[in-house]
Chain A
Amino acid sequence: MIGHLLQRLTSLALTLLVATVVVFAMLNIVPGDPASYMMGLNADPETLAQLRKELGLHLPAWQRYFAWLGDLVTGNLGVSYTYRVPVTELIGERMGVSLPLTLIATALSLAIAIPLGVFAAARRGKVSDAAIVGATQLGIAIPNFWFALLLVFVFATSLRWFSAGGFPGWDQGLAPALQALVLPAIALALPQAAILTRITRSSLLETLGEDFIRTARAKGLSESQTLRRHALRNALIPVLTILGLQFTFLLAGGIIVENVFYLPGLGRLVLQAITQRDLIVVQGVVIVLVAAAIAVTLLVEVAYMLADPRVRALSR
């Protein structure tokens, strides 16, 4: 198992290296100059040249790439062109919002999806199953921003239970910060929960048709015992795969929800950095996300091993 993991780690490190090349190349092809964005309509060419020199933009692309890569190895992501602060600091601040938000949303979607999925599978073909399947269809179909706006108008502007958006910061105490994340987390979790519910249900139904389930039943286990002890555990593998994908998606993909609730998350940081051609920030965030995706993939693989004894045996 250790050998297998090492092998995986090497290939993942290579993935990361390839990603740095791709990200850097792509961003350097994009037209637009961060310096002229910063200096606006009245800037003279001399000032622009001076600013480019200050930002290190006068160097050829390959030199900038290796300088960036060199810093990257030591954990330094460079200094933002526009904000003029270290990129790691910017990402750190935004992670302080995006990571808890993603964790809460993921936990919430799991808490909704697993019981619902199991329940629907157990009652396959009955009215309650049909109702759940119908509800998930709706959950997937509802646009994220619309649901988010609806939450704002019902719970913030009408009922005034929550503020309409913004983030007070963790230094203002746990309760206000968590409160600011409640509505966004619900908005993010709903469509994910709908997808997970469907996956859980179908995967469980498939597992219930397997031979080992028949064996378990033959041993005299009750239907609910079979479901809990044997079927669910095996059915979780596709659920974990989807969950892993969703997690990395939510980390920066919550941009629409971040916009509706004007949260200072990672998604908005990237969008703003792209607009301002703050390429070093974009590069930094993308690399961090690639790394996160890789880490999650690894975690999911480990989770497979724990969930499925066959995978554990195979990788030994």
Chain B
Amino acid sequence: MIALRTLLVALTLCAAVACGPPRPPENAARIGIALEPPNLDPTAGAAAAIDEVVYANVFEGLTRVGERGEVLPALASRWDVSEDRLVYTFHLRTSVRYHDGTAFDAADVKFSLDRARAPDSTNAQKGLFEPIASVEVVDPTTVKITLSRPVSDFLFNMGLGDAVIVAPESAATNASKPIGTGPFAFKRWMKGTRIELVRNDAYWGTPAKLDKLAFLVIPDPSAAYAALLAGDVDSFPNFPAPELLPQIKGDPRFEIAIGTTEGETILAINNTKPPFDDVRVRRAIAHAINRKALIDGVGEGYGTPIGSHFAPHNKAYVDLTGRYPYNPTKARSLLAEAGHASGITVSLKLPPVVYARRGGEIIAAQLKAVGIATKIENIEWAQWLDQVFGRGDFDLTIVSHTEPNDIGIYARDDYYFHYAKPEFKALMSALDRATTEDERTKLLQDAQRMLADDAVNAFLYQLPKIGVWNADLRGQWRNSPVQANDMTAAYWAREKPK
């Protein structure tokens, strides 16, 4: 396969030098995505692929998340927060219309949030809305949201795809015909191949610069590479074949944009299952892993090592990567101390993503070197969700937790790695009550340290965002604070060659 790729690369390079990739005939951009969204309603499904198409482009929330993870105004132009951080008053924009012409007002906000937190809601992030005690329409442009307890990330949460504002008239059909307030309107969806959006000329804010957007579904990495070279696709915000980057690198026609994501990639450990209930065994695993070799092997060297479950670009980050340096001798002696001098045999379940499958092989080799033999089991996502995530039936697994600010999962009682230490839960509830930024930072740093001390999981690296696109296509997100392809500011840099 490698030899084949090299041959094909060589074949194309000779032709590629001659002419640039053709641009679409109109002021449009074609975006390649690896997974097709199952539906287009971000309030009724967890698939990242939904947000990758509709977030910010088609649907908007009260707030929105910016490229660096900052909270920006969206349908709410400003907001007031009460002293006790329980009451949020949102002041809405006027003259906003949905793509079908329906007017937007405070009643839609109440409808959307009440729908998301209703008992029969199928919102994948229903937990985000649980702290909401009431949503009140003060007047058509003012909404008052009262919380039952302070939530530190409430404004950020309201900017997620799961919290977008929908109209009662179209909420039921958004899955196949999404109608939002965004700068692009849905045009058509040819299932299995492409989703088309067109500019919304009646947009309330800065209009989109592109006339049209098409999202093309290309699951195969080789096909993705070919489509890029053939000029069939203008941009892969998440390029699926990092091993081909060296071939694209020196090519002036393309830009490679390496950015950050919220994906903490971890070797998750079943904390209640012997021998992993012994912190020495977990620490031995942490010492056994050579993150540098792993990152080089999996992502061509792209990816930032982490020492706890926290994103390095976050303000409250503490670098704990030195807590368990790569040290096979130390790992062996810790194992021996725990009574496993002759080594242990464990299973390693791997979901079908490159970082897990390729990373799994590397980690298995590194663990073997210290006396931990692994049986690798390659499983599908559905099986992973059922066995590992649903029933906690696993020893070790590799997965990337891509939700932003998700350190709170360690406080959940029945979460699959079974940590939920009372002291950690106390930290998390203190965090929700914290009022000042300094207080929050300190609590978050304590939480990171506690996870590292307990070696809950082996923390590997922050998943990079590897974008590859036509060098003339500007204004795309380099980072992925939420899994989205915000194309609202994208434009073609030069006039099209005639």
Contact = CB atoms under 8 A, between A and B. Distances in A.
Interface of A: 31-34, 36-44, 46-47, 50-51, 54, 82-85, 90, 93-94, 146, 149-150, 152-154, 156-160, 163-167, 169, 259-265, 268-269, 272, 275-277
Given A153-B12, A157-B226, A160-B22, A47 B386 contact: no
Contact of A40 (B36, B46, B227, B383): B46
B65 interface: no
A37 B227 contact: no
A166 B12 contact: no
Given A152-B230, A264-B193, 18 more contacts: A36-B382, A39-B122, A43-B124, A46-B119, A51-B122, A83-B38, A93-B192, A152-B226, A153-B8, A163-B232, A164-B227, A164-B229, A165-B218, A165-B227, A166-B218, A260-B222, A262-B219, A275-B381
Contacts of A36: 382, 385-386, 389-390
B120 A50 contact: yes
A37 B122 CA distance: 13
A262 B220 contact: yes
Interface in B450-490: none
Nearest to A268: B192
Contact of B193 (A33, A47, A167): A167
B224 to A, nearest CB: 9
A33 B232 contact: no
20 contacts: A33-B385, A33-B386, A37-B382, A37-B385, A38-B38, A40-B124, A44-B126, A47-B122, A47-B123, A50-B122, A83-B38, A83-B175, A93-B190, A93-B191, A153-B12, A166-B193, A166-B194, A262-B193, A262-B219, A262-B227
B217 A262 contact: yes
B347 interface: no
Nearest to A53: B120
Interface string B170-192: 00000110000000000000111
Contacts of A40: 45-47, 124
A179 to B, nearest CB: 13
B218 A262 contact: yes
B4 A149 contact: yes
Contacts of A166: 193-194, 216, 218, 227, 232
For the complex of A and B, list the 6 residue pairs with the smallest distance between their C-beta atoms, beginning with the closest: A40-B46, A264-B192, A32-B382, A158-B15, A82-B38, A164-B230
A36 B8 CA distance: 40
A85 B173 CA distance: 11
Contact of B176 (A38, A84, A158): A84
A39 B124 contact: yes
A247 to B, nearest CB: 21
Contact of B126 (A46, A85, A265, A275): A46
Contacts of B119: 46, 50
A38 B45 contact: yes
A164 B226 contact: yes
Contacts of A164: 223, 226-227, 229-230, 232
Contacts of B16: 157-158
B39 interface: yes
B401 interface: yes
Contacts of A158: 11-12, 14-16
A169 B11 contact: no
Interface of B: 4, 8, 11-12, 14-16, 22, 36, 38-39, 45-47, 119-127, 175-176, 190-194, 216-220, 222-223, 226-227, 229-232, 380-383, 385-387, 389-390, 401, 403
Contacts of A33: 382, 385-386, 390
Contacts of A169: 190, 193
A57 to B, nearest CB: 13
B230 A83 contact: no
B45 A39 contact: yes
A106 B185 CA distance: 41
Contacts of A38: 38, 45-47, 124
Contacts of B382: 31-34, 36-37, 275-277
A94 B226 contact: no
A84 B126 contact: no
Contacts of A54: 122
Given A42-B124, A85-B176, A259 B45 contact: no
A275 B47 CA distance: 13
A272 B47 CA distance: 14
A276 B38 contact: yes
Nearest to B415: A41
Contacts of B380: 32, 275
B79 to A, nearest CB: 25
Q: Which of B119, B122, B389, B401 has the most CB of A within 10 A?
A: B122
Contacts of A82: 38-39
B381 A157 contact: no
Contact of B121 (A50, A150, A152, A263): A50
Nearest to A38: B45
Contact of A42 (B46, B122, B193, B383): B46
Given A41-B401, A165-B218, A264 B190 contact: yes
A2 to B, nearest CB: 41
A153 B4 CA distance: 12
A264 B191 contact: yes
Nearest to B12: A157
A87 to B, nearest CB: 12
Contacts of A51: 122
A216 B216 CA distance: 60
Contacts of A272: 36, 192
A260 B230 contact: no
Nearest to B176: A85
Given A50-B120, A164-B223, A83 B194 contact: no
A42 B127 contact: yes
B422 to A, nearest CB: 21
